[in-house]
Amino acid sequence: MTILPETRIDSGRVRGLWRLHRSADGSFSRHAIFLGIPFAAPPVGEARFDAPRAVAPWSGVRDCFLFGSTSQLRSPWDPPRIPEPSIWGPSVLNVNVTTPEPAAGAGLPVLVWIHGGGFIAGSPASPWYGGQSFARDGVVTVTISYRVGFEGFGWMADAVNNRGVLDWLAALEWVQRNVEAFGGDPARVTIAGQSAGAAAAMRLLSMPSAQHLFHSVLAISPPDASATVAEGRAASARIAAAVGASPDRASLEAVDGLAFFEARGAALAPVDDLLTGFVVREAQCLALGPLVDGDVCEDSVSDALAAGVGADKPLLMGACAHEFNDLTAGLSDLIGTTPAGALLERAGVPADLAAEMAEEAGVKGAAWALGQGMTNAIFRQTVAHWAPLRAASGARSWVYDFRWESRAPGVAGAAHCVDVPFGMDILGFAATDAAVGPNAPQSLADAVHGDWLALVCDGVVDAPRCGEGRETIAYGADARRSIGTGYEREALLWEATRA
């Protein structure tokens, strides 16, 4: 009989399961999984809009065989590019651990993964986030949950705010206290995430209060989670009005989570220009996210990086070439015969850069060009702006540009999320083929996963650091190469549109 893996954490003993993982080369490795371990008490009743509370200890052994509940009650995307299941239940603050050595003393590096979903959705129960290839490579993976949508980020004057951020901090404190029981080294923790998860990682990197919780950062397609309290208050007031409540705790406590989910679109302020405002509306989604309140989040990410916060932490960050280009495909009727360059100028892109982007779009047309404008505004410009801030503080930073184009039907170019299966080294499964297509190159997965692994294990990447020359790692058809200069146009766009 196979003995199930067990270990003791600060709240009691936990029992997991053994799993076998088949790698691309046909070899097998064994690892243990522990699912749905609570790191905080269920945020229900009086605790619903409070900071996370301590979990009650248990006696005996807790079976951790199933994923815990998720804050996401329903996915807003059909189908989602990353499969992220919704699991109903009250105990939504939990972690999942994958480890090759479920016992204290192994001293293994740790990857803590924060899921994305625009701060309104997402789930740590995705098959993409299992960490099986990292376990094969001697790394402990911890995926964490947090409150999303209004539950985690809605602003109320008479409640604890930035609750989702406090959930991240509580989960990372749990890792510090408990990861050694799973073979991990609490002094070798890398925080990582994609999209909103990358925004979370950059938000944590820029918080003085979080510096003791990790040693390096991996940010995959990070937007800027630096909305003001005024923006968050306005977005939350619109949601409150949409659900028929007043913007105070007593009134909002009577609203169930599904009603908040259905009203999520109300967070967006109206715009005058439906076409160019589409870019603005997508960026507004982050108003229902972490807010610069001077307390939990003391400063914007940019200002904190410029001040040198987190400069001692190695960072690998970057974006896909065509993150959101396909989101504007349905606007063709509204665009009509409007030239791409003129459309981009209406969106605030300087004429010379608009002409370059229009020429690059070519026969793909104005909708594609407008989508590139959204890709740049939300993702690529932040990378272009943050890299030199890090370089100026002497921080060790590496920047990548993922340009490999998906082969999956309905996925356009190097689109949002396409790089994650390569970094996780999980090609060849049905759960990933829908995003990357069949026969995706394992050589590229070896390169991307290798860079992620090097950062997690050693805090370095085998490439020139990004400095004043904007040195960049390019992932594409030729797998991996270093280029002297990257994100030049995006840096110009940042200066022209946001400075």
Which active-site residues does the annotation give?
195, 323, 416
Per the CB < 8 A criterion, the answer to whether 435 and 409 are in contact is no
- Nearest by Cα to 14 from 30, 31, 37, 32: 37
Per the CB < 8 A criterion, the answer to whether 242 and 263 are in contact is yes
Residues 6+ apart with CB under 8 A from 181: 7, 8, 9, 103, 104
Give CA–CA dist 243/80, Å, rounded: 26
Residues 6+ apart with CB under 8 A from 481: 473, 474
Tokens 């939504």 belong to residue:
92
Per the CB < 8 A criterion, the answer to whether 458 and 483 are in contact is no
**Facing residues of 194 across strands?**
220
Q: Name the strand (E) or helix (H) holding 319.
A: strand 315-320
- Nearest by Cα to 103 from 6, 2, 4: 6
Sign of the dihedral through C-alpha 423, 114, 457, 300: positive
Residues 6+ apart with CB under 8 A from 495: none
Tokens 């981009």 belong to residue:
344
Per the CB < 8 A criterion, the answer to whether 132 and 21 are in contact is yes
**59 three-state secondary structure:** coil
